[in-house]
Amino acid sequence: MNDIDPKNIQPFLRICIILFLVMAVYAVIGIKLWHIQVLSGNKYTAKASRQYARKIRIPAVRGRIFSSDGNLLAENRASYDVVFHLSEMRKPGRMSKTVNHIMGELARVSDSLGRRCEVTVTDIRHHMNYYPGLPITVFKDLNPAELAKVSELTPVVEGMEVTVETARHYPYGSLASHLIGYVGPSDPSKANDRNEFFYYIPDTIGKSGVESLYDDKLKGSPGKKLVLVNHRGFVHEVVGVPIPARNGFDLELTIDSRAQYLAERLLGDSNGAIVLLDASDGAVLAMASTPGFDPNLFVPRISSAEYSKLLKNPDKPFLNKAAQGSYMPGSIAKPLVGISMLENGISPDHKIVCDGFTMIGTSRIRCWIWYAGGHGPVDLLRGLEISCNDFFIENGMQLGVDKLSATFASAGIGSKTGFPLSESAGLLPSRNQNNRRWNVFDTALVSIGQGRIEVTPLQAARYTAAIANGGTLWKPYLLKTLRSTDSAVIQTTAPEANGKLAASPHTLELIRRGMHRAVNAPGGGAKQARNSKIELSGKTGTAEVGSRENRYKNTWFTGFGTDPKTGKTYAITVMVMHGVGGGKTAAPLASRFFEQWL
């Protein structure tokens, strides 16, 4: 056998080593692919799905708000918006080329419309980076002339489209603004379903009033659609059939739009409130507070300058004076003092001689007729008729603050009424009030509705309704029915009694007679409330407020009456700040209200 030459075997060995290394590399690649495809296949499939499939949230159409007489108080109108589809406006090369092109097209549309655009380069870049699958809105709420101009540009500006969105609209402007409230965009970062969607289009949500209180009913349920995007995030295909949103429910309120309109119109430019209740169940038929505001200012967003102007207005247009404001009631508290007298054993025939003033130590509290030497002998019914201060001060001091406070508390003073929107509890007279020592002068003042006592107009209307209906304090409510979009009734509010006036039927009958005389007797203090449509019983009040140098009067009328045509009993309270007197300022408004409403 011949020997193998070592020189001939070296090339062979090199080839074998190279082949081995190549085979080893292929083996490593194969193992890696097997690991990716088999062992980690589900992981990478899910990752690819998250990367290229995007779920988009579709907001629902917000439900409408109706008055009890069928008028639309809040609706959704069409808003014609200009949007740019950025995926159709891309330019080859760097992102800056696309951004510059988009800004150029934006300037062209802006010049054509004669409208300044708020969208900036930063906005475009942010949208391309975070929301490339969605169009960007560049102009909102075009008018007909602007629509015509944009339609001429549509063939020229590639990627531009006019879309129709819904915008909240309040057809009657400021009417019932404190009750209806206003809306604004929601904050996606606080949404419970934020992590469910890659592209999150937020809802319009209620920010105040009924819009906020029943927001969960009004806003409906969102829809969704799944889209495929390319590696840069631009949509190129919709997957499957989108799931449509379910529109919100409609609300029918207890508010009578005519009554609300009349109440606000009668108040005019004054600072005040009018409350009208159904005395039989607590339904709020009108609740006016002036001044108000136009909730349309908040659609889509209120300017900071306009919002600041409203906040700084000294007349407080955002304050619902009917429920949130509490004020000294003046003589409209006297029917409650009369109740306390009767329930604590003082005879209705018990007389006090009014000589025009009452001395409390060295201080003098005058009756309003002090200049004529007083009213002379006065009993309860006469005292209510002519609103004699001496009579109620003398009897109030005999009762003492504890007994007065018990009666006031039973009438709801010092407690919230249960009204579904924000409200004040008022101020209940009490010897432990604010850790301040109570004295007999304080008792004398609260006996005529002055000093350390405050009520809201809503509280006054509520206890007036209780006097009328036999003593039941009803929880005031605003929602009459909740309806689906096809008008099917989903929910109806059941009236709820949540208090009882501490007064016997006989006591209430006497108080009603005294209040009837106040309006209908020839010399009644509330005679200016008389009208031809409904026979009222009531009481005026004039509360002096402020320091001696800046003193002004809050003027009141509160009363009730039964409509002879329908048999319905209504309770009404009128409060006007900076008025002349309850008989001259507030009572005539009640008269004019019923003359025009019924």
- Copy the structure tokens of residue 220: 């409906």
Q: Which of 360-364, 396-400, 524-528, 538-542 has the lowest mean pLDDT?
A: 360-364
Examine the pLDDT at 42 and tell me if it is beyond 70: no
Beta-sheet pairing, 250-253 with 65-66: parallel
Q: Which of 51-65, 194-208, 226-240, 473-487 has the lowest mean pLDDT?
A: 226-240
What is the overall mean pLDDT for the chain?
90
Q: Which of 286, 326, 266, 59 is nearest to 179 (CA)?
A: 286
pLDDT at 50: 47
Of 533 and 43, the one with more pLDDT: 533
Give residues with Cβ within 8 angstroms of 80, minimum separation 6: 141, 142, 147, 162, 163, 164
Which residues share a beta bridge with 569?
A: 562
For the chain, the domains span 77-171, 257-305+321-597
Given this chain, do its domains 77-171 and 257-305+321-597 carry the same CATH topology? no
Cis peptide before 291 (omega within 30 of 0): yes
pLDDT at 8: 61
Q: Which of 293, 70, 73 is nearest to 180 (CA)?
A: 73
Q: Whose structure tokens read 């289009």?
A: 201
* pLDDT tens digits, one per residue of 72-98: 999 999 889 999 988 888 888 888 899
Check: CB of residue 359 under 8 Å from CB of residue 393. Answer: no
Strands (DSSP E) found in 496-587: 497-500, 536-545, 552-562, 569-577
Q: Whose structure tokens read 């009417």?
A: 175
Of 50 and 304, the one with more pLDDT: 304
Beta-carbon count within 10 A of 570 CB: 28
Examine the pLDDT at 233 and tell me if it is beyond 70: no
191: amino acid identity, one letter: A
Q: What is the CATH number of domain 77-171?
A: 3.30.70
Over residues 253-273, mean pLDDT: 97
Alpha-carbon gap, residue 457 to 472, rounded angstroms: 18
Mapping DSSP to helix (H, G, I), strand (E, B) and coil, where does residue 72 land? strand
pLDDT at 193: 81
In this prediction the pTM is 0.86
Question: What confidence category does residue 37 fall into, taking pLDDT thresholds of 50, 70 and 90?
Answer: low
Q: What is the CATH number of domain 257-305+321-597?
A: 3.40.710.10
